[in-house]
Structure 1
Amino acid sequence: MATQTEQRPVLALSAVNQMGCRCARVVLLLLLQALCLLAEDGSIDCMCVGSGCLSEQCKGEQCFIAVTISNGEPSFRRGCLFGSESRRMTCSAAPSASHVVECCSQPMCNVNASMESLLQLLQTSPGSGPARYRPETVLLFIFLGPVVALALLATPTLLLCRRLRPGRLERLREFDTEQGAVDGLITSNVGDSTLADLLDQSCTSGSGSGLPFLVQRTVARQISLVECVGKGRYGEVWRGQWQGENVAVKIFSSRDEKSWFRETEIYNTVLLRHENILGFMASDMTSRNSSTQLWLITHYHENGSLYDYLQRAPVDTADGLLMAASVASGLVHLHTEIFGTEGKPAIAHRDLKSKNVLVKKDLRCCIADLGLAVTHSQADNQLDVGNNPKVGTKRYMAPEVLDESIQTDCFDAYKRVDIWAFGLVLWEIARRTYSNGIVEDYRPPFYDLVPNDPSFDDMRKVVCVEQQRPFVPNRWFSDPTLSALVKLMKECWYQNPSARLTALRIKKTLDKIHSSLEKAKPDC
């Protein structure tokens, strides 16, 4: 019974996710509002571990612990039981050779129970023949089956209510008993889907938000970590594999939880999916090596970041323009608010730099790392800056950020900060673009004016007081394409934020430069 109980919530939510989007969403919201009120009374807190758990605790009328042997491997679960009939049937089940369950009725009474004590019951239980039930249990099966079915279907909805309370996700913690075995942990089967199949199954179609939460957790637990491909102050990035496909797993350090939470929140924004925004798959909290880890799973791009790519290889003029135009296209999508029933708020990145831009196989780029993003909706004129106290990278900070004159209550001010940073990224690309067979070595912006790890004061002195800009070699002015790029980047670097170009104007200008380059090519 416990095995069936744990599987049905996942099946029920999968069925809901496959219903007609708008009708299902309205019905589910009405159910949530009604059931959330009921979920508060007549229940106790229990520890929840194993598949079907949305957090480390759940509320029920009784707590349970259970062990199931599958393919010779024991699986240990803790959780809650709802409804008197469900509790009586589950707790009345006699131990068998493959399953045993124990129930208790005090708050958190299943916390200290161990798998070893239940395994002893398994070893001493009869090894053959079906489990025997008392007569009253058989009667309950016959006469109260429909009531139990309704209780099982309501369980995931009640758990969702707990998850949707304000601040619930931020306090979420999960403790798995199989520590260090995250790679092999699977909550439920999602079939032979590919990444594209899963993303297309989302209720909002392929251009919508993230996957349903339970599907995200399922995907996260089916990923095997292969190799570490990067480290930073936020944590690590690993190349992982899911059903034979490479994925990127960004593992945040515990001190950077707010960035993980904010990035998860932003990536689940409806209509965020775009070819020039890093593709998001799933987000999950998991326990590994006795510590809680925060995972963000995205598409994997083997070329790495634009910062890494430009250090390895220079680019020709066409590829340099392609890189710049794709970053601008992603920025336009972020900055643009989409109106409608399922609209998208305008989003400002706030930490745009070459390390936060990834290079695809075709050398087009996509923008990543939305942990510091700011959102704005005109409908209610609400500016959401999140609760992360961190600011962007000092080397890429705009003058108004460095001298602290930025209008923090104005969304357009944050968009103009992104434009300043884009101008610096454009300069980095231009340095590594061939012109008359000549190309400069890679250097970060202001490399000749500040130390390798500049302080806030270093950058303020150079950018605000001296009003200096990155060095532009004379040879760039002899190349029509690079000369046009110089004009464009300088219009991103105005000291007055309101004088800077918009992302859309930048994109159109780059498209025009690319068209001019194509026309200038000699006919074969």
Structure 2
Amino acid sequence: MQLSLIVFVVSIDLLSTCIPAPPVTAERKCAFLASARNTEKAQRGGNVSGGVQHCARTNCCMGFFQLEHGQARADLLGCSAVASSCPESSCRAAKPVKNYVECLCSSDFCNLNITWNDQANHSQPSHTSDQLIVICFTGFAGALTMLTVLTVLMVLCLINPEKWKLFKDCRPPHACDIQKEADIDLLSIELQKVVSRGHFACVWQGFFQGSLVALKVFPAIQRQEFIKEKDIYLLPSMMHSGIVQFLGGGRMNKDFVLILELATQGSLNKFISINVCNWAATLKLAQTLSQGLAYLHSDSDKNGVRKPVIAHCDLSSGNVLVKADGTCALCDFGCSVVLQHPRNQHVLQGHPNATEQDRNQMGTLCYMSPEILEGCVNLNSGQCLLQGDVYSLGLLLWELLVRCSDLCKDSAVPTHMLPYEAELGTSPSLEELLGLVLEQRTRPTFPPHWDPQHQGFCLQELLEDCWDHDPDARLTAQCAADRLASLPLNLVQ
């Protein structure tokens, strides 16, 4: 046992010298082991230093073990990536499902050893702690070998690109499709209730790995819509508090599932329709909403990882979620378009087969900017899509701010309404919106109690600068976020 522990520690130190990691704070430490197909997602639970993961999101270690011929083989070890309840300090095995067992525990490196309970006794493998540690060490050694192979391949790529091309051509057929459809084990998913229904998918509340999550379920016929949205979530540096957290995706029976962070307050549309907020709560929603869009639109390069510019293209109060802490997070990226900046020119990416007519009809009708409603957009430049998002942001901020009780001191808070609902009803046609928004240049009306001498003046100016008829005169998302960030927490009367 002591010898095995020494080997385990040495293997961690050896890997640490090969894979440098940023400094981490003293938090829960878990043994880390992941295969190539799930390494990226497993790393979202916290920073990895060799064979150790320092938990950043929860205080729980997790382990997935495959049962083979009476033995338990570690398949995935690390920190739980979602909020989990793990009162047990030891790794107690759950009931086996299709030759897999999982566990959650709350002490350092507790996921190295399984404690078998009565529920799992009938499948208990005859292993020892020493054997399990050797299994883990074998995985760590395999990871080191893989790192060496990748390094050699990178050198070959630099020295002789033709050899690299030959190597790529030898990959197994349909490898990309297999990875996209089977990234994680979905055996432990439990659907509870339907949260919302959309055109392409249905969103459920459910359990995954013992935690409450949102499950966006696409029928088999909508496989391409599933892949399109999943590919957006998998872009580099999509982890941001203003964007709903992506936890994984895969196939469940005939359906395709995206596993997402559960926003307990539901959509912004639902939230503000049943809640009246004071100024502090309203400002928090508005600031985090604008910050999420500004990050989505940003072009950043951190530690060699480039985040591309992304246009949401369907920003509405139904596609913004409200989390338990009263902050907003963007979701539903099925219409989103990825942009790049070669020589400062925006180039559409990710939808090469879309026609011009398809692109002009992206989004929710009443939130579309005048130029997109008209179909008069320059698809050789993605700037118009970013400007369209800012127009939608202006409508969203109006929708949110008119429900603020502190802005209605001398009158009742107006009933929640969608943009242009007062003028055109709940389901306006394209022709009606073209006449009102494009030809008449009408915008949502401001409540009469907004006093231009106080806070209302700043807000009115902000909204008008977001939904300006001239796309080039509109604010950027970052400028809108900066203006909101400058507003005082205490409303001046």
- Bin for the TM-score computed over the shorter chain: 0.5 to 0.7
Pick closer, same or farther for the CA change 1:495–1:72 going to 2, 3 Å.
closer
2:328 equivalent to 1:365 = yes
Alignment deviations for residues 387-429 of structure 1 (CA, whole Å, 9 cap, x no partner): 5646111111100101111111212111100000000000111
Residues 173 and 322 of structure 1: CA distance in aligned 2, closer, same or farther (over 3 Å): closer
Q: Is the 8 A contact 2:348 2:379 kept in 1?
A: no
Q: 1:161 to 1:430 in 2, by over 3 A?
A: same
Deviation at 1:385, TM superposition (A): 4.5
2:478 equivalent in structure 1:
504
1:440 counterpart residue number: 414
The residue that corresponds to 1:13 in the other structure is 36
CA distance in 1, matches of 2:252, 2:437: 43
Partner of 2:348: 383
Q: Is the 8 A contact 1:259 1:372 kept in 2?
A: no
Give the conservation status (yes or no) of the 8 Å contact 1:260–1:294: yes
Q: Distance in 2 between matches of 1:409 and 1:493?
A: 22
Rounded to whole Å, the distance in 2 between the matches of 1:376 and 1:458 is 31
Q: Which residue of 1 aligns with 2:399?
A: 428
**CA distance change for structure 1 residues 398 and 12 in 2, over 3 Å: closer, same or farther?**
closer
Number of the residue aligned with 1:311 = 273
Question: Following TM superposition, by how much is the alpha carbon of 1:239 offset from its aligned partner in structure 2, in angstroms?
Answer: 0.6
Query: Which of residues 247, 252, 264 is equivalent to 1:302?
Result: 264
Deviation at 1:161, TM superposition (A): 3.7
TM-score (structure 2 length as normaliser):
0.62
**How far has the Cα of 1:379 moved from its partner?**
4.3
CA gap 1:72/1:273 in 2 versus in 1, 3 angstroms: closer
Name the residue aligned to 1:118.
none
Q: 1:249 pairs with 211, 215, 228, which one? A: 215
Q: Distance in 2 between matches of 1:352 and 1:169?
A: 31
Report the equivalent of 1:193: none
Structure 1 match to 2:454 = 480
Partner of 2:194: helix, strand, or coil? strand
The whole-number CA distance in structure 2 between the counterparts of 1:477 and 1:444 is 23
Point out the more displaced range, 315-324 or 377-386: 377-386
Contact 1:163–1:169 (CA under 8 A) maintained in structure 2: no
Match for 2:230 among 264, 272, 291?
264
Match of 2:386 in 1: 415
Cα distance change of structure 1 residues 445 and 72 upon mapping to structure 2, 3 Å threshold = closer
What amino acid is the match of 2:324? Answer: K
Q: Secondary structure at the match of 1:13?
A: coil
Shift of the alpha carbon at 1:461?
1.5
Q: Give 1:375 shift.
A: 1.2
Residue type matched to 1:384 in 2?
Q
- Larger Rg, first or second structure (1 or 2): 1
The 3-state SS of whatever aligns with 2:451 is helix
Show the counterpart of 1:332.
294
Identity %: 25
Q: Which structure 2 residues correspond to residues 50-89 of structure 1 after superposition, within 5 A? A: none
Structure 2 contact 410–449 (Cα < 8 Å) conserved: no
Report SS of the residue matched to 1:376: strand
Gaps of 5+ in 1: 1-9, 24-51, 53-70, 76-97, 99-149, 175-212
Secondary structure class of the residue paired with 1:485: helix
Q: Output the TM-score relative to the length of structure 1.
A: 0.59
Please report how far the alpha carbon of residue 255 of structure 1 lies from its aligned counterpart in structure 2 after TM superposition.
4.3
1:402 to 367, 373, 393: 373
CA distance in 1, matches of 2:437, 2:449: 24
